[in-house]
Each structure stands twice: as C-alpha cells, then as structure tokens.
Structure 1
C-alpha cells in the first residue's frame, strides 16, 4: 500500500509540474494585456507570428527528424480511432445543435479531439510512462493527418463567397490544390516529411535556426491565449460560443475521447496494459492551444477555442490523475 500511495503522489506531482508552465505563461499573457504594455494590436501580431513563423519552424524540425513508419503501431490505431470519432462528433454537434458553419464547426472538432501533445503530453508521458516515444507518434499523427483536414475545412469554410454562386467555376478545387502553398503549417509539414523520407541532411545553421524559431511557438501561443482572456472581443466575426457549446466540446475532449480510446485499446484490440495506459493518457490530454491560434488566424469565434483550452486543461488534471490511478502499474 505505501508503494501504491507513493506512486500516486509521484504521478500527481508530475502532473502539477507539467501544468505549471501553462498557467504561468497564460497568466503572464493576461497581465501583459491588462497593463497595455505591448499595445492594442499585440494579441493579433503575436498570433500571426505563431501561425506564420514559429509554428511552421517547429513542425518542420519535428517532422524532418521523424520516422512516419511509427504510425503502423497498434497503439496508434487505438488513439487515431478515438481521435477521429470524437473529432467527427464535435463537428456534427457544432453543425446540428449549435448551428455553426463549416469553419466554426472545424474549430469545434479541433477543440473536441486535438490534444495538447507537445508542451503537456511530453512531460506527463516522461513522468508517468517513463518515456515519450508514444507521444512523439501522437504529435506526428496530429501534424501530418489531423491538421491538414482541419485546415482544409477552415480554408473551404472561410473562402470568399463560401462557395456561393458568385465564385468562379473550379475556384474551390483550385484553392484546395494550392492550399499547401498558401498555408505555412501544411507547407512546413510537407517539407519536413520530404526531408524525412529522402534522408536529406540539412545544414546545421538551418536546423539550428529552425530550432530557435520553433522554441518560441508554444510559449508565444500561451502568452497570446492569456492576452485573449483580458476582456477583448471573443470573436472577430459571427456569434460568441455559449457555455453549453464549450461544455459539449470539453466533455467530448476530457471524457469521451479517453473512454473511447480505452474501449478500442483494451476490450477491442487487447493491447498490453502499459500500451492501454499510454493511449488513454494521451487521449485524456486537454485541447491544444493550436485551436485558438487557428481560430484567430481565420477570423473565427475564438471564444470556443479559448475557453475550451482553459476549461479542458482544468478538467484534465482530474481525468489524467484518474487514468494514472486506474490503469497505472501501482493500481
């Protein structure tokens, strides 16, 4: 019994240590906005910096040094199935029950199923699982497969005319085909994948520069998120998300996704206990701040993404702790 209690306490300490930077950087962003230190346009400028510069650099570095063959692992099948199902549910709920358009529903889908795998998933995995190898696969899955789908829905849902009759024939197809060139997130991921597949060795100066830029992505995104909490308008266009809409997304993210992941990994695929724990733990991670950055960049309601990130981060402290207690080796 003492050993089990010690393991639980160690897991809780690991969770608190992982969550602390999120709250601190978000709080700094709030304080900066409240003081007016960076001016009225700081939030918008920092958001564009993350989307167009820092995040692409981070993704390029990450993908170029990866091995996409890791997707074949059975654990990834369980995680991908839970992510796909919950993301689809988030999209349908936003469309059917809250009357959202395609682009806003894509943000709801992201808030429901896109996990904070990098700055939160890695430290949690290292402390609870002992290594972050599965989290690395999750990151690649989201970058190479989930993000392009979300960005395609955002692009098609916010294009001029929204596909109306006034749009020239073939315009939608042309925008879809040229989106990798126009979207820095997808372009950086594709370039990184090309480098990974070909085994190309890049100059050290280039990789170091990308490392430096990429390191700014997460902290800047969290500071930007914190700035958005200070009284500014939650939406650039359209209506603001209500509590019921945010609650639905958070419930899907923190409850439905890990439960589905457990059902697929355990009863369906009969994976070993440590793999089931890894799948459930990663599925129980809160919504990534990328959802807020994407919503801001596309001029959509940022209230759902912003509040979803904050609320799911709070709730996930409970769900992650429960998953560790229920499925961990000290149970």
Structure 2
C-alpha cells in the first residue's frame, strides 16, 4: 500500500498539489491558470481523447461489470442532484454539476495514469473502458445539457457551439474512425502522442492553481457531496457489481475507479458557464486529498 501510494499515486497527485502551492504562493495567478486550462480543454484533451476513442479495442470488454458501473453513475447522479436541490437549496445548474461531481471521477486525467503505473498499459482495460464510457456518453451528455441550459432560446447559437466543441468532435470523429476501421497516418499518430500526454499534468496543475484561491473550510454541502463521492459511490458500484457481475475480475478496478476523486470537468464546466464554484471547488480538493489513501488501499 505504501509503495503504491508513494510510487504510483503521489506522482500524479503532485501536479495538482504543485499548482495549489504555487497559486497560494502567488507564483502563478488565476488568470494564467485559466488560460492554461482553456488550452488544455481546447487542444490537449482532444489530442488525448481522440486516439483513445479511435484505437480502443473493445473486443475484450466485459459488459456486465461496465453496466454495473454505468448504472451506479446514473443512480448516484440522481441522488446527489436531488440532495443538492432539496436539502442544500442550490439552483438548477449548480445542483446539476454537484451531481456530476459525485459520479464523474477524474478517470482520464488521474485514475487512468495511476492504474497504468500500477498494472501496466496492457492491464487496465477495465479503467480504459470506464474512461471511454465517461468520455463518449456522460461527458458528452453534461456538455450538451449545460449548453442547452445556458442557451435559453438561442438554439442556433447553442447548436453551433455544440458542433464546434473540440472535445465532442474528438469523441465523435474518434468513434467513427474506430467503427470504420480507418487507419491513421503515422505523422498524425506521432503528433497526438506528443500533445496528448500533456493534458493530464497541465489540467491538474491549472486546476490546483485555480483551487488555491478557494476557501476550503467544509460546510454541510461540501461535506455531504464529498461524502457521497468518497463513500457512497464506491459502495454503490461495489454492490451493483456484486449483484450484476458476481465473481468478475473487473470488479476490483471498477471499485478502484469509483473511489477516485471528483473529476475536474464539473469545475471546468462551472467556470465555462458562469456557475458558482464555492462548493464544487472544495469538493474536488477534499476528494483529491482523501482519496489518496483509499486508492492506495484498494489498489
């Protein structure tokens, strides 16, 4: 457990912590971090997502444990959204993103690199399947839904932003390339391999800087949402996997993924669409810190 914590988990967490420390120390400002975050979202994340979508070999995917994980995400979102609205009195868009924060794990930029370090690139198909599920379905859903909620009656402008969203384009084109078996030229693969790996460290660093300006004192809403993420979601996935896919060797990595911290995307979407972040941001910080030990134990 200690070896996994020090050699595989902390090196990934270090970029978030470095950004947080440099932000608190005034070395890097929020304006700079927002610019880095935007570049990562528009350029680096599509470069990471596209080859994952285009080159994924889905022949070995075990559908039952993956379905258990997906069902857990849906149920956790509904529960957290309802609590955020009715118990904590948050408006529709903030409650929507708080619900997302409990079920949308930082799988692509955090858990996936950690599991590659632990199990090797050939031993992380379960986590890769979750990354593809979250990227292709749930992330797309939340981008689309936030666009609709932000667009009001300006449907043409909303549809235009959706059509030009680089992450959605990377997902859609990557899926078409995969299904169609279209070979990618080696120079394209080389360019993606050069740019894509920068997405995780740059995004985590920028997130750390931006979060450094956030008050971290736990309020009932912060503690409640973070508790649902850290305890409720892994327990729900564990129970559903035991019920729907008993004995599957995928279950351990499903639960490991569910135990990861809240993803950066709820926070990034809140910044993008002008939603308050005084609860979302501390949830990400607390779940990132507290999940260090649960991830090391489960791994």
TM-score under structure 1 length normalisation: 0.79
Q: Which residue of 1 aligns with 2:232?
A: 256
* From 138, 148, 153, the counterpart of 2:145: 153
Partner secondary structure for residue 271 of structure 1: coil
Aligned mates of 1:129, 1:24 — CA distance in 2: 20
* From 254, 279, 291, the counterpart of 1:279: 254
Q: Which residue of 2 aligns with 1:84?
A: 74
After alignment, is 277-286 or 61-70 more displaced?
Answer: 61-70
TM-aligned CA distance change 1:314 to 1:37, over 3 Å: closer
Partner secondary structure for residue 108 of structure 2: coil
Q: Which residue of 2 aligns with 1:110?
A: 100
Gaps of 5+ in 2: none
Residues 60-90 of structure 1: CA deviation (Å, up to 9, x unaligned): 1211111456666211011111111112222
TM-aligned CA distance change 1:185 to 1:101, over 3 Å: farther
Aligned mates of 1:143, 1:30 — CA distance in 2: 26
After alignment, is 136-145 or 223-232 more displaced?
Answer: 223-232
Residue 217 of structure 2 is aligned to residue 225 of structure 1: no
> How big is the shift at 1:202?
1.7
Give yes or no for contact 2:162–2:168 (8 Å, CA) kept in 1.
yes
Residues 105-150 of structure 1: CA deviation (Å, up to 9, x unaligned): 2321221011122343235535766721101101000000110111
After alignment, is 35-44 or 23-32 more displaced?
Answer: 35-44
Residue 216 of structure 2 is aligned to residue 265 of structure 1: no
Q: Which has the larger radius of gyration?
A: 1
TM-aligned CA distance change 1:219 to 1:140, over 3 Å: same
Aligned mates of 2:200, 2:160 — CA distance in 1: 27
TM-aligned CA distance change 1:276 to 1:68, over 3 Å: closer
Give yes or no for contact 1:98–1:245 (8 Å, CA) kept in 2.
yes
**More RCO (CA 8 Å, sep 6+):** 2
After alignment, is 295-304 or 305-314 more displaced?
Answer: 295-304
Give yes or no for contact 2:61–2:126 (8 Å, CA) kept in 1.
no
Residue 166 of structure 2 is aligned to residue 191 of structure 1: no
Partner secondary structure for residue 249 of structure 2: helix
Q: Which residue of 1 aligns with 2:268?
A: 293
Q: Which residue of 1 aligns with 2:136?
A: 144
Residue 155 of structure 2 is aligned to residue 180 of structure 1: no
Give yes or no for contact 1:51–1:297 (8 Å, CA) kept in 2.
no
Aligned mates of 2:269, 2:40 — CA distance in 1: 10
How many corresponding residue pairs?
297
Map 1:122-133 → 2, pairs under 5 A? 122-126=112-116, 131-133=123-125
TM-score under structure 2 length normalisation: 0.87
TM-aligned CA distance change 1:245 to 1:182, over 3 Å: farther
